[in-house]
A = this chain, B = another copy of it.
């Protein structure tokens, strides 16, 4: 697969925008902050990305999506109690209105968290020279920090804390600079929940969502019980095919989809897609966005693996590509997101700290137009409420107080190189062990997954065994030899349509390199035995 080619076109796109729309640079953060109004960092303080964004002069406003919101989402009304909070600004007012507990009953005096100092990120370096960050209960009142236990352990806003929303908004502007004016971020409890909430905003029983033909299992399991069908869009090694998307929509026949109307919601994982590992090139993303405009689609861009984009794959016998020389160079290596092309505000982007910091934190965020974020936030207020306080505090100490945006970029480059080594390792193992006559693959450019195609037609008994039976035979032959993989058929978007091809998903994210080598070797032995190759 070719290396990312984002740089040139991205530059052209940038220079087409007016000067004030160029977006935020890392160096520009301090200046912008110094010009911002004094913030309220207190308990459940009202916040919004608008407090932290650039003015967006010259950018268009987002389209309105009233006709895409479902009955549930349209009917949410602002609560009376939240409206009353405006009186709390009155000097000297005694608040007998709200129901917040007193922080004197939070049984934690302080939390210390030891984290790496950028750029010394290894576990050994952290042990030797990491930074110890203290989170006190009343740091805010005592002038030690803008965020403390007294705030984070009480109820919060569904947007997330002002403290973390600022970092996230700046980060989103630095990386994506959405090309419309009224974009906002809202924190979430992770992309699984964000997708669940998005579906409950947009679709109704009897409708369809388009997804990659092989899709994230949990996404399909979120979507189907809502009475919504997944329609699989064909893929190649760059993921979702814009031509297939266009063809499905141009030829939609309700009668073959239980009378479902023509769909208009696309769920896609553009980078390091789960399970295929495919990454859409910039050209492919533009094609998809073009089709989205043609058919007036709304796009859910699920991007947990965006920062697991890796160095170009050069193979076992060629030198590695040198790492990015600067933060700016690093940002330019990243394939531009759909959000970064979204002049209409037709993309809700789902971001998460799960793959780049830790999944157990349960913290992510969504980016979309003001109208969509307002609906999302109102749903969160009566369901997930807000990202939890301890994780927001830990992220604040790490990302804001210790690393800053520069240190975070260093960390993301570190991850890029680590995942590159892991990806190279599994690809080398495949080249060494897998029988090429039946197994083929493309080295993934992003994510955690390596997707191996098996030419099942070469199975000795293919006349008397179905594709799914042969897949099952391989799966269990590998387990017998000590390797657990995932069957490709588990990931089919259309669960009753197995397709014509056979794949196995392997991951290189977790096991140590030598174990991955051993795992692939065993998988190769299983394949050889099943196909009677030796």
Contacts and interface: CB of A to CB of B under 8 A. Distances in A.
Contact of A509 (B99, B108, B126): B99
Contact of A97 (B99, B115, B507): B507
Contact of A153 (B98, B218, B361): B361
B101 A509 contact: yes
A470 interface: no
Contact of A510 (B101, B123, B388, B511): B101
A360 B382 contact: no
A111 B112 contact: yes
Contacts of A218: 79, 381-382
**Assembly stoichiometry (copies):** 2
Contacts of A98: 484, 486, 507, 510
Contact of A519 (B94, B192, B222, B516): B94
Contact of A484 (B93, B398, B522): B93
Contacts of A398: 107-108
Given A189-B189, A193-B383, A361-B388, A93 B509 contact: no
Contacts of A358: 101, 105-108, 153-154, 389
Contacts of A48: none
A360 B389 contact: yes
A104 interface: yes
Contacts of A390: 360-361, 388, 390-391, 394
A130 interface: yes
Contact of A385 (B96, B362, B381, B486): B362
Interface stretch (A2-10, A70-78, A167-175, A258-266): A70-78
A92 interface: yes
A455 interface: no
Given A93-B483, A95-B510, A109-B116, 11 more contacts: A90-B484, A95-B519, A98-B510, A99-B509, A101-B355, A101-B509, A108-B398, A109-B127, A192-B383, A192-B384, A390-B390
The 5 closest A-B pairs by CB, nearest first: A360-B389, A94-B519, A390-B390, A153-B360, A153-B358
